[in-house]
Amino acid sequence: MKYVRLDVDGQTVEVPEGASVAAAVATLDRCTRRSVLGGWRAPVCGMGMCFECRVCVDGVTHMRSCLKLAREGMQVITGG
């Protein structure tokens, strides 16, 4: 199995090729976004409908991480 390495909140993580950015975040046991009232959220539907998995990828915010393939060298920031 091939792996890709990417950066989540400054931490390096390795996931299998074909895995999603959401999986990378989960691998580090981190949450994806903060709700309007400040609570942490993590992915719920896994398929791009709930929008709880939104993170910042390579400078672009509000990306649904369950729909985004993890790529080598990606910079992901959670908590937006």
Query: CB of residue 15 vs another protein: minimum separation in angstroms?
Result: 5
What residues contact 23, with CB distance under 8 A and at least 6 apart? 15, 70
Residues that bind another protein (CB under 8 A): 1, 15-20, 22-24, 26-27, 31, 35-37, 39-52, 54, 60-62, 66-70
Specify whether the CB–CB gap between 21 and 57 falls below 8 A.
Answer: yes
Size (the chain), residues: 80
**Beta strands 40-41 and 54-57, pairing class:** unpaired
Kindly tell me which of 5 and 27 has the beta carbon lying closer to another protein. Answer: 27
Q: Which is nearer to another protein, 10 or 54 (CB)?
A: 54
Q: How far is the CB of 10 from another protein (least distance, A)?
A: 20
